[in-house]
């Protein structure tokens, strides 16, 4: 039974504690002290030698009150060593030693009883006092250790604070700076003494003040335990620096008293990113111009030459009917050649449209997607439709190109790998953003844990979609599950 098992455990623990106490030397010293006090207490009964009796009489100890007072020594000592429980056990033992003398032997029962009771009560009171003093001493020792650890922790924090590579500063809830490290001084151009005289409003640009106010509100209302934002910092020399700012609350007694900020200069990093984005945009634009040129050449030159060749073959085939029966093999050969040329024309026309559909240049994104859906349905048998949400509008040329090619690659993957029967292209015009989602009911797949793993996993088509989206500051989201189809969403500010 669980109850009996718990009782057994408690009983075993009690035995273990008692065993530890008995093994201590101080326990036996207290026992010896009780025995030494008790022996003279019963001198008449035990018939001590005459000189001991005479010594006690000369000291005025005929009433044995002194021995009773001596019982306080083991009681208090036990209380100090073993706590309140030890004092109670020792006082009960002393009481057992004194009561027979007081009741059966002492000629003054009332006095002996009062003295015995006083010793018992005084011993426990003193034991309680000494136990409290012992606990207080232990508490003070622990408090001292804690204070030392706290001081060491503060020193380590201060060292980390001062030597941190990123700028760190604290300000009260009114924005007055109350602490800052050397990195903050280097970032702002102010000395530490000058920083302590400033308010955060003096450091942030006008457009960044609203961001800082919003961060403060989120922190104080508990909507965010920490917040990260990009703001512009006003340096002492008048220049502006773009920083990434993270903020967190500082508490005292459970109440927020300050806000700590960590600032990292990202000006150069952002400049490199902007330059890279511009560079990639130019590369993309150059690629699109090249695709457009190749598409035009295929349509205006190669395709036209093939059409002329096809018509010449048609003319030759019609004239071959006048040839004799012996030349039928030659006629059949030219007929097959004409059919092969027609297939090449269809392939070149389709390639030209894939490179740069005419509908995209003339009519815009939505008609080009409609054409793309019909082409996919015709060549793969997958039922494909285009759905639009929001107010239709034309977008910038490069945005329409990116969205079209991402949808084109996504539908191409549907036809090659998904084994789907249905696909949908959803275009959403939402404020300053445009979202295109290509979904299917195919076999699905296990997407990578992070978008950055696409290239490593060999999914180069998806990698190309991601790169195209990032060129325009957009995002790409992949959702898929084996047996439940796939969904690819691109969102671009437009």
Same domain? 381 vs 493: yes
In this predicted structure, what is the pLDDT of residue 324?
Answer: 45
Whole-angstrom distance, CA of residue 364 vs CA of residue 411:
19
Residue 274: inside a domain, yes or no?
no
Question: Which of residues 259 and 72 earns the better pLDDT score?
Answer: 259
In this predicted structure, what is the pLDDT of residue 278?
Answer: 73
Hey, what's the torsion of the CAs at 445, 446, 452, 458, to 10 degrees? -50
pLDDT tens readout for residues 278-324: 776 677 666 666 666 666 666 666 666 667 767 766 666 666 555 54
In this predicted structure, what is the pLDDT of residue 61?
Answer: 46
In this predicted structure, what is the pLDDT of residue 468?
Answer: 80
In this predicted structure, what is the pLDDT of residue 491?
Answer: 92
Q: Is the pLDDT of residue 455 over 60?
A: no
Q: How confident is the model at residue 54 (pLDDT cuts 50, 70, 90)?
A: low
What average pLDDT score do residues 443-469 get?
71
Same domain? 113 vs 208: no
Residue 3: inside a domain, yes or no?
no
Q: How confident is the model at residue 4 (pLDDT cuts 50, 70, 90)?
A: very low
Residue 255: inside a domain, yes or no?
yes
Q: Is the pLDDT of residue 337 over 60?
A: yes
Contact 192, 167 (CB under 8 A): no
Same domain? 351 vs 364: no
Residue 270: inside a domain, yes or no?
no
Same domain? 261 vs 377: no
Percentage of residues in the chain with pLDDT exceeding 90? Answer: 7
Contact 404, 435 (CB under 8 A): no
What average pLDDT score do residues 210-239 get?
81
Whole-angstrom distance, CA of residue 163 vs CA of residue 172:
22
Structural domains counted in the chain:
4
In this predicted structure, what is the pLDDT of residue 280?
Answer: 64
Neighbouring C-beta atoms of residue 429, cutoff 10 Å: 16
Q: Is the pLDDT of residue 429 over 70?
A: yes
Residue 219: inside a domain, yes or no?
yes
Q: Which of 74-78, 178-182, 358-362 has the lowest mean pLDDT?
A: 358-362
What average pLDDT score do residues 150-160 get?
75
Same domain? 350 vs 415: no
Same domain? 344 vs 364: no
- Quote the tokens at residue 215: 């961060």
| Total-model pTM | 0.44
Q: Which of 36-40, 71-75, 88-92, 410-414 has the lowest mean pLDDT?
A: 36-40
Question: Which of residues 94 and 179 earns the better pLDDT score?
Answer: 179
Residue 378: inside a domain, yes or no?
yes
Same domain? 379 vs 329: no
In this predicted structure, what is the pLDDT of residue 422?
Answer: 92
**Helix (H/G/I), strand (E/B), else coil: 454:** coil
Task: Dump the DSSP string for 29-69.
Answer: HHHHHHHHHHHHHTHHHHT--HHHHHHHHHTT-TT-HHHHH
Neighbouring C-beta atoms of residue 284, cutoff 10 Å: 18
Same domain? 463 vs 425: yes
What average pLDDT score do residues 51-65 get?
50
What average pLDDT score do residues 422-443 get?
91
In this predicted structure, what is the pLDDT of residue 3?
Answer: 47
Question: Which of residues 461 and 217 earns the better pLDDT score?
Answer: 217
Top-ranked range on mean pLDDT: pick from 58-72, 78-92, 253-267, 441-455 = 253-267
Whole-angstrom distance, CA of residue 227 vs CA of residue 219:
8
User: β-strands 433-440, 486-493: how paired?
Assistant: antiparallel
Residue 280: inside a domain, yes or no?
no
Range of the domain at 306: 291-356
CATH code, domain with 437: 3.30.565.10
What strand order describes the sheet that includes 167-172? 177-180, 167-172, 255-265, 240-252, 227-234
Same domain? 257 vs 227: yes
Residue 46: inside a domain, yes or no?
yes
Q: How confident is the model at residue 248 (pLDDT cuts 50, 70, 90)?
A: confident
In this predicted structure, what is the pLDDT of residue 423?
Answer: 93
- Alpha carbon 351 to chain centroid, angstroms: 48
Neighbouring C-beta atoms of residue 442, cutoff 10 Å: 22
Question: Which of residues 36 and 456 earns the better pLDDT score?
Answer: 36
Percentage of residues in the chain with pLDDT exceeding 70? Answer: 72
Top-ranked range on mean pLDDT: pick from 99-108, 218-227, 410-419, 433-442 = 433-442
Q: How confident is the model at residue 350 (pLDDT cuts 50, 70, 90)?
A: low
**316, 335, 356 - which closes a domain:** 356
Q: Is the pLDDT of residue 6 over 70?
A: no
Q: Is the pLDDT of residue 258 over 50?
A: yes
Q: Is the pLDDT of residue 385 over 90?
A: yes
Q: Which of 165-179, 235-249, 366-380, 453-467 has the lowest mean pLDDT?
A: 453-467
Question: Which of residues 479 and 227 earns the better pLDDT score?
Answer: 479
Same domain? 63 vs 26: yes
pLDDT tens readout for residues 81-132: 777 777 788 888 878 877 777 777 777 777 777 777 777 787 777 777 777 7
Q: Is the pLDDT of residue 347 over 60?
A: yes
In this predicted structure, what is the pLDDT of residue 389?
Answer: 93
């Amino acid at each position: 039974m669980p109850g009996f098992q718990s009782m057994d455990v408690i009983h075993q623990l009690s035995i273990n504690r008692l065993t530890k106490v008995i093994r201590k030397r101080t326990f036996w010293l207290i026992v010896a002290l009780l025995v030494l006090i008790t022996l003279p207490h019963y001198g008449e009964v035990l018939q001590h030698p005459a000189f001991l009796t005479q010594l006690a009489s000369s000291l005025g100890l005929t009433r044995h009150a002194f021995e009773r007072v001596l019982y306080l020594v083991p009681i208090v000592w036990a209380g100090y060593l073993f706590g309140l429980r030890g004092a109670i056990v020792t006082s009960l033992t002393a009481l057992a030693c004194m009561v027979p003398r007081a009741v059966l032997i002492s000629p003054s029962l009332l006095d002996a009883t009062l003295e015995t009771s006083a010793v018992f009560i005084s011993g426990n009171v003193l034991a309680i006092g000494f136990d409290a003093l012992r606990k207080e001493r232990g508490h003070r020792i622990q408090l001292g250790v804690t204070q030392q650890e706290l001081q060491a922790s503060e020193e380590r924090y201060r060292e980390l604070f001062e030597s941190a590579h990123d700028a760190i500063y604290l300000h009260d809830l009114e924005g007055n700076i109350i602490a800052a490290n050397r990195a903050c001084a280097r970032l702002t151009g102010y000395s530490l003494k000058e920083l302590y005289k400033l308010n955060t409003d003096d450091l942030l640009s006008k457009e960044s003040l609203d961001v800082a106010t919003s961060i403060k509100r989120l922190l104080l209302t508990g909507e965010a335990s920490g917040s990260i934002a990009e703001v512009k910092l006003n340096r002492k020399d008048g220049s502006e620096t773009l920083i990434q700012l993270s903020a967190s609350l500082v508490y005292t007694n459970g109440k927020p008293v300050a806000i700590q900020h960590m600032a990292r200069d990202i000006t150069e990093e952002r400049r490199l990113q902007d330059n890279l984005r511009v560079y990639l945009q130019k590369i993309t634009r150059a690629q699109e111009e090249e695709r457009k040129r190749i598409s035009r050449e295929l349509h205006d030159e190669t395709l036209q030459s093939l059409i002329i060749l096809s018509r010449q073959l048609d003319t030759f085939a019609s004239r071959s009917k006048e040839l004799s029966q012996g030349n039928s093999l030659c006629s059949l050969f030219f007929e097959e050649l004409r059919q092969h040329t027609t297939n090449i024309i269809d392939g070149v026309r389709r390639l030209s449209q894939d490179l740069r559909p005419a509908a995209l240049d003339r009519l815009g994104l939505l008609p080009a997607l409609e054409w793309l859906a019909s082409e996919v349905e015709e060549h793969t048998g997958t039922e494909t439709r285009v759905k639009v949400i929001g107010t239709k509008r034309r977008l910038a040329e490069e945005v329409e190109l990116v969205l079209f090619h991402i949808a084109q690659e996504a539908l191409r993957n549907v036809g090659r790998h998904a084994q789907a029967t249905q696909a949908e292209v959803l275009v959403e015009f939402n404020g300053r953003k445009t979202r295109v989602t290509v979904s299917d009911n195919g076999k699905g797949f296990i997407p990578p844990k992070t978008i950055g793993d696409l290239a490593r996993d060999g999914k180069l088509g998806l990698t190309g979609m991601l790169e195209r989206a990032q060129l325009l500051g957009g995002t790409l989201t992949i959702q898929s599950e084996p047996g439940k189809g796939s969904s690819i969403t691109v969102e671009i500010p437009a």
